[in-house]
């Protein structure tokens, strides 16, 4: 699918997602299984993930307005919104809450102790204290692990393959996110194993991005972006700033590349959300989250934006392009 048509498709999906909550609320919820869907970033950023989730539920027999209703809420990368939404879901008496990202899932877990929670994607859920273990999560929460920290080394390897003269890499992370801090440490260690120098850049809010990039100017030849809802929500601004200081970017989510980033390598998020729907199905049919082991990703994608490469003056070798699962032009 050409780049322009893909963007139009994503925008169309975003519009569809925005319309779903009104459809759900129009039903008679007393007779329907009610699902609380807490998007950590924005409806547009998660449109393809949400579509995959709803499609898998449909395949499993859960059809909006007939057998279930979904209440959609969006935190827009703001942690304070998460607690408000979790409390609202408790008042609405949803049967299960679906979300993604460690900070969001942890905030929901603190706010809601009796409603089952499914995280579609969380980096190192054991290391960040979300679950007791992958095999026996315990408590009212389970889902899918991103294994972000383990994939960090592979991202650095890909960056080095594309940029053989790379000497210094900058690492951008939300210092307020335990998982992003873990990923930053893992990426730092991996970079040093590859003989690269590292410049750490920490942010906590949207206003921090512009000064952070000003401070990076001329200090690195590439930028590694740690996965986090705050950064995903601001992906367009991050890519614009990175282009302004001539930094090729590597992230873990294809939505960054779609918004003008150079490359992403990581788990296939629509696939993770499809699998999250399977957890929801089991819980709605009586399973307890504590008894459902945390699963790991099976599909990983390398995505490259050729338009961004040209803007940066980079020539991507044909051999390198052949490794990509998707090329955006």
Per residue in 165-186, pLDDT (tens digit) is 999 999 999 999 888 898 999 9
Residue 132: DSSP 8-state: S
Pairing of strands 263-267, 300-305: antiparallel
* The CATH number of domain 3-146+268-300 is 3.40.50.2300: yes
pLDDT tens for each residue of 107-138: 999 999 999 999 999 988 998 889 999 999 99
Residue 103 pLDDT level (bands cut at 50, 70, 90) = confident
Q: Cβ contacts of residue 310 below 8 Å, gap of 6+?
A: none
41 closest CA partner among 9, 85, 3, 6: 85
pLDDT, average across residues 67-90 = 94
Residues 141-170, mean pLDDT to the nearest whole number: 91
**Residue 12: pLDDT over 60:** no
Sign of dihedral through CA atoms 258, 82, 34, 113? positive
Distance separating alpha carbons of residues 28 and 269, to the nearest angstrom: 31
Indicate whether 6 pLDDT > 60. no
Residue 4, pLDDT > 60, answer: no
Q: Is the pLDDT of residue 31 over 80?
A: no
Rounded Cα gap, residues 260 and 308, in angstroms? 6
User: How confident is the model over 256-271, as pLDDT tens digits?
Assistant: 999 999 999 999 999 9
- pLDDT beyond 70 at 18: no
Confidence of residue 25 (pLDDT cuts 50, 70, 90): very low
User: Nearest 10 degrees: CA dihedral of 81, 83, 86, 90?
Assistant: -130
CB 104 within 8 A of CB 45: no
Instruction: Give the residue-averaged pLDDT of 201-221.
Output: 96
Residue 112 CA to residue 123 CA, distance in Å, equals 21
Tell me, what DSSP letter sits at residue 117? E
Q: Is 326 helix (H, G, I), strand (E, B) or coil?
A: strand
In the three-class reduction of DSSP (H, G, I as helix; E, B as strand; rest coil), residue 250 is classed as: strand
pLDDT at residue 3 in the model: 45
- Classify burial at 208, counting beta carbons within 10 Å of its beta carbon; exposed 0-12, middle 13-18, buried 19 or more: middle
236 pLDDT band (50/70/90 cuts)?
Answer: very high
- Cα gap 96→284, rounded to integer Å: 8
List of E strands, the chain: 33-39, 68-74, 96-99, 117-122, 141-145, 168-174, 197-203, 222-225, 249-251, 263-267, 300-305, 326-328
Q: What are the structural domain ranges in the chain?
A: 3-146+268-300, 148-266+301-328
Residue 36 tokens, joined: 């609380």
pLDDT at position 16, please?
39
What pLDDT shows up at residue 13?
A: 42
What per-residue string of b and e applies to 300-329 under the rule 16 or more CB within 10 Å gives b? Answer: ebbbbbbebbeeeeeebeeeeeeebeebbe
Q: What is the DSSP string of 136-175?
A: ---TTEEEEE--HHHHHHHHHHHHHHH-TT--EEEEEEET
Mean of per-residue pLDDT scores for the chain: 89
In CATH terms, 148-266+301-328 corresponds, of 3.40.50.2300, 2.10.50.10, 3.40.50.300, 3.30.300.30, to 3.40.50.2300
The total of other beta-carbon atoms located within 10 Å of residue 220's CB is 22
Banded pLDDT at 149 (limits 50, 70, 90): low
Residue 124 exposed, middle or buried by CB count within 10 Å (0-12, 13-18, 19+): buried
CA distances from 86 to 50, 57, 92, 98, 181 (A): 18, 22, 10, 11, 24
pLDDT digits (tens, 9 = 90+) for 266-298: 999 999 999 999 999 999 999 999 999 999 998
**For residues 57-67, average pLDDT:** 95
pLDDT for residue 148:
62
Sign of CA dihedral 49, 154, 142, 232: negative
Q: What is the pLDDT of residues 182-194, one digit of tens each?
A: 899 999 999 999 9
**181, HSE (Cβ side, Cα atoms, 13 Å):** 9
Residue whose tokens read 């629509």: 270
pLDDT at res. 11: 40
């Amino acid at each position: 699918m050409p780049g322009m048509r893909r963007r139009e498709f994503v925008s169309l999906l975003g519009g569809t997602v925005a319309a779903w909550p009104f459809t759900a609320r129009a039903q008679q919820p007393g007779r329907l299984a009610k699902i609380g869907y807490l998007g950590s970033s924005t409806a547009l950023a998660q449109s393809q993930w949400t579509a995959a989730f709803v499609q898998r539920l449909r395949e499993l027999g859960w059809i909006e307005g007939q057998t279930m209703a979904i209440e959609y809420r969006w935190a827009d990368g703001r942690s304070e919104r998460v607690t408000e939404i979790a409390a609202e879901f408790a008042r609405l008496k949803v049967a299960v809450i679906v979300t993604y990202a460690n900070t969001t899932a942890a905030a929901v877990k603190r706010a809601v102790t009796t409603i089952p929670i499914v995280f579609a994607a969380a980096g190192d859920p054991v290391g960040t204290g979300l679950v007791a273990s992958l095999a026996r999560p315990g408590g009212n929460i389970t889902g899918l692990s991103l294994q972000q920290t383990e994939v960090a080394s592979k991202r650095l390897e890909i960056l080095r393959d594309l940029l053989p003269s790379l000497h210094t890499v900058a690492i951008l992370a939300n210092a307020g996110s335990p998982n992003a801090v873990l990923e930053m440490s893992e990426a730092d260690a991996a970079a040093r194993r590859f003989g690269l120098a590292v410049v750490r850049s920490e942010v906590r809010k949207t206003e921090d991005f512009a000064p952070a990039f000003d401070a990076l100017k001329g200090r690195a030849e590439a930028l590694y972006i740690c996965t986090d809802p705050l950064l995903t929500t601001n992906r367009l601004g991050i890519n614009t700033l990175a282009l302004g200081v001539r930094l090729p970017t590597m992230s873990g989510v294809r939505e960054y590349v779609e918004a003008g980033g150079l490359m992403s390598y990581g788990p296939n998020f629509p696939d993770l959300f499809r699998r999250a729907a399977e957890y929801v199905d089991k819980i709605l049919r009586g399973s307890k989250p504590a008894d459902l082991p945390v699963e790991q990703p099976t599909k990983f994608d390398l995505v490259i934006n050729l338009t961004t490469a040209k803007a940066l003056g980079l020539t991507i070798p044909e051999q390198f392009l052949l490794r990509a699962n998707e090329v955006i032009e």
